[in-house]
Structure 1
Amino acid sequence: MKSRDTLVRLKQFQVDEKRRRIAQLQQMIAEFTRMANELDREIANEEQRANISDPSHFAYPTYARAARSRRDNLTHSLSDLRAKLATAERQLEEASEELSKAKSQEVRDHAAERMVDIVAERHAAERGEGFRRV
């Protein structure tokens, strides 16, 4: 059945696309985490150099204040990306289930087709005719 084959290919494409999306999100999360950790180290170095670790202190280093702001933005973005990743993983699971159902239906359809062919062959043989599938 052509329509069933097309459906299986469509479902497979959807599963593959969701896997690519998950890989992309994981890569972004790893990169943002690396950047946030790097900013943490830079903040600590700047605070140590200035010997001031209180951000509300009037002489707190400007670079450390800016780095904190960037790190906080990255942390917020990370939480958003993790939520998107969780959603994408649920969508992948759903798409995988749909693909599995479509594949099992395709197998059943092929088996039913084959059974029809076998019955037709037997019927044709009983009548002394050759079987020709149309």
Structure 2
Amino acid sequence: MKSRENLVRLKQFQVNEKRRQLMQLDMMIAEFERMASELELQISAEEKKAGITDINHFAYPTFAKAARLRRDNLRDSQSDLAKQRSAAESLLSEAEAELSKAEMLEMRDTKTRDADVGVRNVMIG
């Protein structure tokens, strides 16, 4: 019966690990969003300072071009992380379902064991 207890502990560990991964992805997405927002502010300030908002203009600020590229890369990475997050959510759901099954099996074994002990006590006593 120890194997069932170990199975439950293993499944609980897996669920906790999936939750941790999900939280980590959420933090990374939020950090990328914050960085992209900061870059957006820097781009706006640079365009305002130069007085040029047309990206294709020959005198468009180089810093603003580079910041735009970084911001776009951050948005792409954020999109990729969102996909990873949805995959992690489904893995978490699966792990929670497996944990639930393992807990039910362990509970059933405990009830069976308790019933067997009760029958033995009646037979002995």
TM category, shorter:
over 0.9
**TM-score by structure 2 length?**
0.98
Other structure's SS at 1:59 match: coil
Q: Which runs of 5+ in 1 are unaligned?
A: 126-134
Partner of 2:109: 109
Structure 1 residue 20, shift from structure 2 partner: 0.6
AA partner of residue 48 (structure 2): Q
Alpha-carbon deviation of 1:46? Answer: 0.5
Q: Secondary structure at the match of 2:9?
A: helix
> Matches of 1:79 and 1:105 in 2, distance apart?
40
Secondary structure (helix, strand or coil) at the match of 2:58 reads coil
- CA-CA distance at 1:124 after TM superposition: 1.7
Moved over 4 A (4+): none
Question: Aligned partners of 2:67, 2:75: CA distance in 1, in Å?
Answer: 12
1:36 aligns with 2:30: no
- Return the TM-score normalized by structure 1: 0.91
**One-letter code of the match for 1:92?**
L
Q: Which residue type is aligned with residue 2 of structure 1?
A: K
Q: What CA distance in whole angstroms lies between the structure 2 residues aligned with 1:79 and 1:101?
A: 34
Report Cα offsets for 1:2-61 as digits up to 9, x if no partner: 000000000000000001101110110010000000001100111111111111110000
- Root mean square deviation of aligned Cα: 0.6
Structure 2: gaps spanning 5 or more residues: none
Determine helix, strand or coil for the equivalent of 1:67.
Answer: helix
Aligned partners of 1:56 and 1:7: how far apart in 2?
61
SS at match of 2:43: helix
* Structure-1 residue corresponding to 2:74: 74
CA distance in 1, matches of 2:30, 2:40: 15
Alpha-carbon distance in 2 for matches of 1:45, 1:123: 87
Answer with 1 or 2: which has the greater Rg. Answer: 1
- CA–CA separation in structure 2 for the residues paired with 1:69 and 1:112: 64
Matched pairs, number:
125
1:113: how far off? 0.4
